């Protein structure tokens, strides 16, 4: 009986993988239940702003579902599965990409509280979303899976919250449901061991950790009382002049830019005239309200509250994340804002059809408003025409951005091979940052003008079961890694830290990591500056003509392997022409590898049934001369699959 129950619940748990569209767990009608007149009632001492942080797939969004149900914000339905994951790409991939805010009303010991919950992403590529979300909070729930334990992003998120002096409540998830749903994981699950692990790694009291099951809802009712009792209320004064921090924004096709703000001081009412500290532009607050979990107009926001404002901002470029809004004629000291996100991976994005350039540009502007960590610069390629060089926080970030362009804006784009930013130190001491291989100095230029070439380095943190120590050290060693730290978290789990070149981890490193550890290893990294390296630029030539969009910068030790691999890959995707196509990879004038796509041959002698052999030879010689002329004057059509083949290297970006 127990096994049948486990199988039934397991099948329901896997229902979201079936590919069918999931019904919405709430409708706009649910917004009607918000007591609009109650907003002034919630003074700062009756407000709690908190977020949920964790490693990917530890149950953040499921826990958010249960909290929203428990407070009556959404109705209890079987279809409530990650209701705050509103993007199509999030539901398809089963991950959170965009932080989402939801307000709740909860009564505790006879007093009603306004709770603002922010559900954050768990992947390292979206850590900028987490850092911005934490700026609007006074505390956070640190969620850890009872089966998997502490993972790499758990460590990173903890120190991110700790650096902002937030109250951290440890929560161990998937505890009660282990004996029903995850019966297969009962041997591996040990909540007490995980609690001791958190105490050892984070110096938190193991007895204070809440043990819950977000899927079944067991012990979830302990979380909100703990939030109210442990997390401090926001500091703010309604009587002071308005100070509002802009920490997120998105574009609405009907009202323009919608700004998500945290009110630090004062009040923001509908009809108020406000000013941006960054641009000094003046706006009128057309609509003010809370996310419940959709937009619900309340007419006003007060100190300590987190909500949205529609202020007739029509140009997406006017919204600057970290900006401070104040009331007209009542200037205030701007809030510190955020440290700008540092792009770690760059790639070129071009429209498939050159006529779609203007439309694609508008789509990119709107999408970058929703994702402030993307760096955008225009560039031109001889092979692909006009496009953009975009900077991302990682390869998954790049792949999600491309998918959102295609799904939300129906854009058809070509994405080039991702690269990392290199630094060139000139002999006169000047430093030049190279974001695209086209700007890399030529071999003839380097000896006379360049002092050294540098590549970005990262400090990678890997956490995995101890039996995989050998394969993990071998993987990092083959990627030019240097071991920095080695530590046992408990009797079974190891944490190692390696200094690695960023270029080594933006391709297929994650896939190799999961493959060699049977999926148990987790991975996180942080930038630690630049280091001198022996770098070279490898060109791809088609019939002797370089294709700038396929050029890349590599370490000298890799050019033989990568050069041969790329030539073979391109031979498989370039279609046969009426003339022979020579594919070469080269460093300067030195050819590394060559592959040849044979020409399509028309049988020009098919109708010569008799006569002297010179008749056939004349036709064949004429065909040969024509092919030489076509090879000299003709152009090779490079399909989009060529760029995808070189970028994916077996699908590394899509599988993260």
Beta-carbon count within 10 A of 426 CB: 13
The response to whether 264 counts as a known ligand-binding position is no
The response to whether 58 counts as a known ligand-binding position is yes
Whether the CA torsion 422, 426, 431, 436 is positive or negative: it is negative
Q: How far apart are CA 121 and CA 157, in angstroms?
A: 10
The answer to whether 555 touches 88, Cβ cutoff 8 Å, is no
Structure tokens given for 363: 């789509």
Q: How far apart are CA 398 and CA 407, in angstroms?
A: 14
The response to whether 56 counts as a known ligand-binding position is yes
Host H or E run for residue 462: strand 450-465
The response to whether 54 counts as a known ligand-binding position is yes
110 vs 45, 106, 107, CA distance in Å?
Answer: 14, 10, 6
Rg (CA), the chain: 29
Which residues in 39-185 belong to E strands, given as ranges?
A: 47-54, 100-108, 111-119, 139-145, 167-173
Structure tokens given for 37: 């007149």
The response to whether 61 counts as a known ligand-binding position is yes
The response to whether 237 counts as a known ligand-binding position is no
The response to whether 120 counts as a known ligand-binding position is yes
Residue length of the chain: 656
Q: How far apart are CA 615 and CA 622, in angstroms?
A: 11
> 3-state class of 310 per DSSP?
strand
The response to whether 59 counts as a known ligand-binding position is yes
Structure tokens given for 556: 């000298």
The response to whether 108 counts as a known ligand-binding position is no
Residue (of 58, 140, 145) closest to 95 by Cα position? 58
> 3-state class of 349 per DSSP?
strand
The response to whether 397 counts as a known ligand-binding position is no
Cα distance from N-terminal residue to C-terminal residue, the chain: 37
Residue (of 406, 407, 410, 435) closest to 422 by Cα position? 435
Host H or E run for residue 362: helix 357-370
426, β-bridge pairs = 450
The response to whether 123 counts as a known ligand-binding position is yes
- The single residue listed with the structure tokens 């390869």 is 395
Residue (of 541, 527, 400) closest to 459 by Cα position? 527
44, β-bridge pairs = none
Which distant-in-sequence residues (6+ apart) come within 8 Å of 379 by Cβ?
Answer: 348, 387, 388, 389, 436
Known binding-site residues for GTP equal: 54-61, 119-123
Q: Which residues are annotated as a binding site?
A: 54-61, 119-123
């Amino acid at each position: 009986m127990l096994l049948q129950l486990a199988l039934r619940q397991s099948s329901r748990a896997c229902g979201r993988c079936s590919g069918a569209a999931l019904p919405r767990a709430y409708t706009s009608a649910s917004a009607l239940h918000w007591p609009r007149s109650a907003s002034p009632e919630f003074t700062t001492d009756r407000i709690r702003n908190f977020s949920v942080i964790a490693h990917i797939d530890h149950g953040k969004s499921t826990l958010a579902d249960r909290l929203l149900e428990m407070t009556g914000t959404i109705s209890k339905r079987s279809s409530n599965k990650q209701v705050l994951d509103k993007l199509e790409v999030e539901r398809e991939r089963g991950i959170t990409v965009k932080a989402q805010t939801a307000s709740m009303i909860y009564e505790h010991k006879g007093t009603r509280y306004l709770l603002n919950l922010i559900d954050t992403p768990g992947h390292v590529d979206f850590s900028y979303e987490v850092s911005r979300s934490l700026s609007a909070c006074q505390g956070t729930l640190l969620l850890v899976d009872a089966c998997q334990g502490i993972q790499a992003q758990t460590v990173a998120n903890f120190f991110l919250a700790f650096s902002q002096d937030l109250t951290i409540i440890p929560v161990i998830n998937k505890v009660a449901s282990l004996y029903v749903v995850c019966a297969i994981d009962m041997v591996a699950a040990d909540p007490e061991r995980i609690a001791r692990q958190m105490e050892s790694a984070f110096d938190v009291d193991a007895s204070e950790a809440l043990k819950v099951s977000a899927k079944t809802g067991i012990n979830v009712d302990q979380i909100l009382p703990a939030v109210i009792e442990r997390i401090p209320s926001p500091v703010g004064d309604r009587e002071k002049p308005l100070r509002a921090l802009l920490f997120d924004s998105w574009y609405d096709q009907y009202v323009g830019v919608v700004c998500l703000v945290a009110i630090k001081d004062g009040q923001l009412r509908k009809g108020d005239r406000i000013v941006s500290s960054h641009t000094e532009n003046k706006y009128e607050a057309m609509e003010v309200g809370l996310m419940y979990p959709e937009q619900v107009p309340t007419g006003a926001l007060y100190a300590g509250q987190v909500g949205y404002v529609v202020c007739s901002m029509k140009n997406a470029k006017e919204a600057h994340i970290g900006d401070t809004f104040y009331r007209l004629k009542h200037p205030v000291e701007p809030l510190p804002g955020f440290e700008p996100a540092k792009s770690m991976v760059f790639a070129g994005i071009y429209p498939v059809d050159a006529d779609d350039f203007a439309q694609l540009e508008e789509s990119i502007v709107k999408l970058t408003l929703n994702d402030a960590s993307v760096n955008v610069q225009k560039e031109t390629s001889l092979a692909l025409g006009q496009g953009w060089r975009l900077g991302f926080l990682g390869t998954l970030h790049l792949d999600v951005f491309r998918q959102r362009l295609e799904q939300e804006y129906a854009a058809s784009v070509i994405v080039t091979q991702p690269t990392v930013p290199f630094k060139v130190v000139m002999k006169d001491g000047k430093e030049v940052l190279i974001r695209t291989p086209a700007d890399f100095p030529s071999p003839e230029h380097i000896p006379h003008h360049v002092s050294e070439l540098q590549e970005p380095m990262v400090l990678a943190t890997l956490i995995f079961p101890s039996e995989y120590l050998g394969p993990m050290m071998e993987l990092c060693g083959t990627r030019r890694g240097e071991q920095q730290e080695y530590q046992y978290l408990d009797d079974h789990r190891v944490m190692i830290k390696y200094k690695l070149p960023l270029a080594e981890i933006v391709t297929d490193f994650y896939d190799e990591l999961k493959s060699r550890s049977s999926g148990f290893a987790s991975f996180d990294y942080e930038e630690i500056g630049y280091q001198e390296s022996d770098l070279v630029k490898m060109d791809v030539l088609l019939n002797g003509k370089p294709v700038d969009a396929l050029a890349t910068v590599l370490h000298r030790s890799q050019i033989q392997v990568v050069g041969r691999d790329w030539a073979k890959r391109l031979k498989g995707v370039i279609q046969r022409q009426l003339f022979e196509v020579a594919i070469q990879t080269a460093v300067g004038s030195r050819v590394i590898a060559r592959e040849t796509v044979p020409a399509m041959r028309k049988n020009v002698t098919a109708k010569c049934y008799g006569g002297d052999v010179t008749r056939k030879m004349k036709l064949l010689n004429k065909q040969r001369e024509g092919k030489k002329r076509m090879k000299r004057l003709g152009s090779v059509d490079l399909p989009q699959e060529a760029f995808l083949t070189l970028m994916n290297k077996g699908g590394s970006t899509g599988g993260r």
